[in-house]
Amino acid sequence: MPHLEALLPLLSLDRLPRTGWLVAGVPNPETIAAHSLGTALVVLALGPKVEPRLDVDRAVALAVLHDAPEALLTDLPRAAAECLPSGAKAAGERRAAELVLAPLSEHAWQRFEEFRAQGTREARFVRLCDQLHLGLRWLGYRREGARVPGGFRSGLAALECAEFAPCAALRAEILAAADELAGERGRS
Amino acid sequence: MPHLEALLPLLSLDRLPRTGWLVAGVPNPETIAAHSLGTALVVLALGPKVEPRLDVDRAVALAVLHDAPEALLTDLPRAAAECLPSGAKAAGERRAAELVLAPLSEHAWQRFEEFRAQGTREARFVRLCDQLHLGLRWLGYRREGARVPGGFRSGLAALECAEFAPCAALRAEILAAADELAGERGRS
Amino acid sequence: MPHLEALLPLLSLDRLPRTGWLVAGVPNPETIAAHSLGTALVVLALGPKVEPRLDVDRAVALAVLHDAPEALLTDLPRAAAECLPSGAKAAGERRAAELVLAPLSEHAWQRFEEFRAQGTREARFVRLCDQLHLGLRWLGYRREGARVPGGFRSGLAALECAEFAPCAALRAEILAAADELAGERGRS
Amino acid sequence: MPHLEALLPLLSLDRLPRTGWLVAGVPNPETIAAHSLGTALVVLALGPKVEPRLDVDRAVALAVLHDAPEALLTDLPRAAAECLPSGAKAAGERRAAELVLAPLSEHAWQRFEEFRAQGTREARFVRLCDQLHLGLRWLGYRREGARVPGGFRSGLAALECAEFAPCAALRAEILAAADELAGERGRS
Amino acid sequence: MPHLEALLPLLSLDRLPRTGWLVAGVPNPETIAAHSLGTALVVLALGPKVEPRLDVDRAVALAVLHDAPEALLTDLPRAAAECLPSGAKAAGERRAAELVLAPLSEHAWQRFEEFRAQGTREARFVRLCDQLHLGLRWLGYRREGARVPGGFRSGLAALECAEFAPCAALRAEILAAADELAGERGRS
Amino acid sequence: MPHLEALLPLLSLDRLPRTGWLVAGVPNPETIAAHSLGTALVVLALGPKVEPRLDVDRAVALAVLHDAPEALLTDLPRAAAECLPSGAKAAGERRAAELVLAPLSEHAWQRFEEFRAQGTREARFVRLCDQLHLGLRWLGYRREGARVPGGFRSGLAALECAEFAPCAALRAEILAAADELAGERGRS
């Protein structure tokens, strides 16, 4: 049953949590599936505003697939990746992608490879949207009352957004909203 | 902050459950976000095998967006929709789509409208993949030990798959695997 | 098995969340069952203090039943109801009530109809207690650290409580406690 | 703020689980609030069918209150109660009731005392409905796929239902449905 | 199957919540198992620094076992224990320990008895570490954004730590960090 | 605040799930903290029966610490580890242990190193107890109704238990109970 064998392992994506949030103290974080969908929605919000034009639909497919290997590898937060030998996480993703995406379809495999190689504008744009979704979720959890370590803000502020003006615009909005929130809490 | 105003409401998608499963007795069902992502993955698995060729990436975008209005409307299970006046759920989705997708981008809005109108092969294919993801999840929950009412099987068996052969193939695999599971439980 | 057919569908009430809280950013909100019980407890706290006397026990029964149709319809938050055509949510509740409460007992059906018609003092009192339980839960979630959008406060402040003095008293206590909490957070 | 001081502690009822289910292996059992509401719904289903007539609304109020002291005492499963000195659990409930229900209203206090004294038909009927809701939930969890120790069946079968014919009827339906389920699993 | 009969009941420890936190408004508190493990880790952090020397490994075993009877008794928060007759909770723990720990091994039983008798320095040290883990968790939940009633701070401040200097040091750090957190929120 | 800096990161252990169970389809698996405690309880059950005598308390300390580095590394299931380059997971554990356990105490560090080196009987015994707790949990989840892939049974059957007779005895009990369960389901 080739289709089932390819699709059933991907169901884990809607059970596996984004573990970085657990470590950061968010008790009910989103799953890997939800993050992937959220990244695709950021692509759909910003992509059509990018100049020169992007192939937005292809970028959406890249976003949908960008974390699919984590169905096997799970979500390794930064601290975990830094404990592993240099390059090990990337090698693990590549191997997991072979096992999980190659059986899905040649199309899926090529789209993932395009994302991983970071050689096209679409691939670089999706990487930024991935980071911006992290920022959005950080803002979202803070608005709900979670207190999350300050490292997220500086990471977001340091993102290199020059290639894609709409990404810079969203980043600025997130930072402004987060600062406003911090101000409300009397930490201005 | 126009980007934030468009994107923050969509974060609800990763909190709102697929309520139909709750009613059917699955205690921890997937979220709307996870279902949308899962539908997009089914599109990526089957789309490239469809003849004549589909625009797979556009179909992926349709899948990502097809339930986005539920960020406002929530997931109304079939029994709920049948209690509402005829056409009310569809009208509610249209209105919710205007509120949620129009601010996202013109591109997102057009993709959603294409899905809703069901006038293209891509739109009809995504509707089938949406139903097939329901079938996959049904099989997945049953494999985990959940007992789910039998209506799901007959609904899946009755799906009209003639336009897209790979959909018929996946449907057949799901039904075979579910029957095998039922047999194992001594209910052959 | 007529009793089972009437009672089993109502078990969904202890799985279905109050979805409005999910949209508002409360990650683990109470279920519809818990809200119904909480409303009944508000009735038991305030009802005996109302002048002229209410039939408190009948009001308790109204509270227990007031959201029972949501076992079928699920909890439609205000934003969802506003997307539906005018009157659709009320029509859906009526139809769901027929399906869910008529098989329970004639007594249950009459109590629900009394609540829906809003023609008796007990029915209007229970409607207020329903809103006041929403206010209590809002206060409770805020005291636990959740940050919930400000709309709740103004909705509570705008409640028409003149007919029932104890309702006005509880409302005043909730608002005072919420303001004290906001002050503690440096947002006075 | 007397109303708040009486009502806020009762919010715990929608967080505290029915711990007996946790011990029995149900991972997401209902809360004490949901069980109380469920008991009230069983009262509303069966009460109107009892001969000679019961005061159904008063019985509903008894059901709503019957476990309210557990907001303080928590839900002590049978095995826990058996470890405590004889009479300790009952004494604890009485003390918790004084602390939790006396501040609510004289009406609430009297209703709880009526339930505890078990001197009226309404009180004895509600005690049975409490046990029958346990049976319903047992059936419900089993229908969802949970495997729960067999002790529940014999406890239900041993319930003394002679005083209230509709209770005997529901009990028989639950047992028949559970046996049918066991048969389906090949354990006839 | 003697080993299974001894070990399976203890699996409940990883499902049963620390109910005191639920009452205090922490929606997803740790389990009894996690608290026991956390206490053992506090023992491993502070024990080696105690003068004169402790038998640290024996103290770890005491920590692992100190709440094991709650697999049967569940976690009775202070308010619950105060409702029970004087001495009832302690008697319940003793009885539960006989049922749960005696079948485990003579070694386990002796270690638990040593903890309960509080006659050795190791036993008194573990009791303090138990309280300090409560303090750590209180700080942890507050850092995540939870608002927990102020009683925890005074309870921690009143702990008698004179016998074990490292316990006094950790207590001081927890209080300082909690006060700093309160200051950040504008409540200095 | 050296004690806090050492202890706070370990709180993650009671949030991080044992991800292997999520992938295998158990929706609410235990945390790493609960698994560590459970392993220590298996040590306390079997350790005193081992001949020649073990230092049971030291073995308990090894069990408490054996997965502590996962506070940083998270729980990498077998499939994830197999995607990483050979030796990468072990290297990651070592690095995470340096970061997480060295600040705890020299005693904790030595105990973890003893476990990792597998050079003592206590260390090898704890490794087996770790695997046996996995088997216990597998049996426990199955008894609750979860259906978990068959690979667990063969892994357990293949465990090398010759050095410790009580481990072989528990393993035999788990396998017999699991087979009995499978028989009940009509899959003999």
Does D186 touch chain B if contact means CB atoms closer than 8 Å?
yes
Query: What per-residue confidence (pLDDT) applies to F146?
Result: 86
pLDDT < 50: residue spans in chain D = 187-188
Q: Do E88 and D83 touch (CB under 8 A)?
A: no
pLDDT of residue E6: 97
Q: What is the pLDDT averaged over residues A152-169?
A: 95
> Is the model's pLDDT at B188 over the cut of 80?
no
Enter the pTM of the model: 0.96
Instruction: For chain A, say whether C187 makes contact (Cβ under 8 Å).
Output: yes
Q: Which residues of A touch F85 (CB under 8 A)?
A: 85, 87-88, 91-92
CB-based contact F13:F65 (threshold 8 Å) = no
Q: Is D51 on the interface with C (CB under 8 A)?
A: no
- Express each pLDDT in B108-121 by its tens digit: 999 999 999 999 99
Tell me what pLDDT residue C185 has.
Answer: 65
List pLDDT tens digits, range F18-56.
Answer: 999 998 889 889 999 999 999 999 999 999 999 999 999
By Cβ distance, the residue of C8, C30, C64 closest to D64 is: C64
Summarised one tens digit per residue, pLDDT across range E40-60 is 999 999 999 999 999 999 999
pLDDT of residue D187: 40
Q: Does B touch E (3+ CB pairs < 8 Å)? A: no
Query: pLDDT of C41-100, one tens digit each?
Result: 999 999 999 999 999 999 999 999 999 999 999 999 999 999 999 999 999 999 999 999
b/e map E36-72, b = 16+ CB within 10 Å = bbbbbbbbbbbbbbbeeebebbbbbbbbbbbbbbbbb
Which chains would you list as touching A if contact means 3+ CB atom pairs under 8 Å? B, C, E, F
Give the tens place of pLDDT for each residue, A136-151. Answer: 999 999 998 888 876 8
| CB atoms C56 and D31 under 8 Å | no
* pLDDT at site D188: 31
Sequence-distant (6+) residues with CB within 8 A of F78 are F20
| Residues of chain B contacting D182 with CB distance shorter than 8 Å | none
pLDDT-derived band at B15 (thresholds 50, 70, 90) equals very high
Q: What is the pLDDT of residue D185?
A: 65
pLDDT band at A187 (very low <50, low <70, confident <90, very high): very low
DSSP state of B144: T
Query: How distant is the alpha carbon of residue C154 from its chain centre?
Result: 17
Name chain D contacts of B187, Cβ cutoff 8 Å. Answer: 184-186
> What is the predicted pLDDT for the residue at C78?
92
Nearest CA in chain A to E29: A27
Q: Which residue of D has its CA nearest to F30?
A: D27
- pLDDT score for C147: 83
Quick: pLDDT tens for C117-147: 999 999 999 999 999 999 999 999 999 888 8
When the pLDDT of each residue in chain A is averaged and rounded to a whole number, the result is: 94
Interface check for D176 against chain E (CB to CB < 8 A): the answer is no
Q: pLDDT > 70: what percent of chain A?
A: 97
Tell me, what's the pLDDT at A149?
73
* Distance (Å, whole) CA C64 – CA D61: 9
Per-residue pLDDT, F188: 31
CA–CA distance, B144 with A15 (Å, rounded to integer): 12
* Contact criterion met (CB < 8 Å) for C34 and D38: no
Q: C-chain residues within 8 Å CB-CB of D60?
A: 57, 60-61, 64
Q: Do B25 and D144 touch (CB under 8 A)?
A: yes
Q: Which of residues 18-47 of E touch A (CB under 8 A)?
A: 27-28
| Phi, psi torsion values for E101, nearest 5 degrees | -95, -35
Mean pLDDT of C102-110: 97
Q: Which long-range contacts (CB under 8 A, 24 or more apart) does C140-144 make?
A: C140/D8, C140/D11, C140/E25, C141/C21, C141/C26, C141/C29, C142/C178, C142/C181, C143/C181, C143/E25, C143/E147, C144/E25, C144/E26, C144/E27, C144/E146, C144/E147
- Output the pLDDT for position F27: 83
Provide, as residue numbers in chain B, all residues whose Cβ is less than 8 Å from the Cβ of C17: 17
φ, ψ dihedrals at E31, nearest 5°: -85, 170
d(CA C80, CA B84): 13
Contact pairs from chain A to chain E, CB under 8 Å: 24
Q: In the prediction, which pLDDT does C184 show?
A: 75
What stretches in chain F show pLDDT beneath 70? Answer: 150, 185-188
Please report which confidence band the pLDDT of residue E24 belongs to, taking 50, 70 and 90 as the band edges.
confident
Is residue F107 within 8 angstroms of chain A, CB to CB?
A: no
pLDDT-derived band at C7 (thresholds 50, 70, 90) equals very high
State the average pLDDT for chain D.
Answer: 94
Q: What is the pLDDT of residues B119-150, one digit of tens each?
A: 999 999 999 999 999 999 999 999 888 888 76
Please, are residues D177 and D57 in contact by the beta-carbon 8 Å criterion? no
